[in-house]
Amino acid sequence: MHLSLVRDELMKILQCPVVECRSQELELVTVERSQEEVVTGVILCNSCKRWYPVINTIPHLLPDLLRGVEDSQFVKKLPNDFPYILNLSTHKFSKRE
């Protein structure tokens, strides 16, 4: 079964995967959507400032150690005017000035 991202419902149950954080205050930034689903997007944790990709409707909420090549491929495909800078080594985001 695929866990597809229906914005409001799923955002309520998702949690930051970082053990020291576990925040449920996550924010979803949509890049591409179809009808009800977010196809491509970025989930931001406003507590530890990490970002997580949504790839083909699936949120990838992985702890730091399990992140890697998928992240860099994802970042390359984002539009140039995406409003956040996504760091690939710290996994943290910052607002683009």
Question: Which one of 14-22, 36-44, 72-80, 83-91 is the stretch in contact with Zn ion (CB under 5 A)?
Answer: 14-22
Helices vs strands, H then E, count in the chain: 2, 6
Q: Where are the beta strands (DSSP E) in the chain?
A: 26-34, 37-45, 51-55, 58-59, 84-86, 93-95
55 contributes a contact to Zn ion by CB under 5 A: no
State yes or no: residue 45 binds Zn ion (CB under 5 A): yes
47 binds Zn ion (CB under 5 A): yes
Instruction: Quote the least distance from Cβ 1 to Zn ion, whole Å.
Output: 26
Question: What's the CA gap between 79 and 9, in Å, rounded?
Answer: 26
Residue 64 touches Zn ion, criterion: CB under 5 A: no
Residues that bind Zn ion (CB under 5 A): 16, 18, 21, 23, 45, 47-48
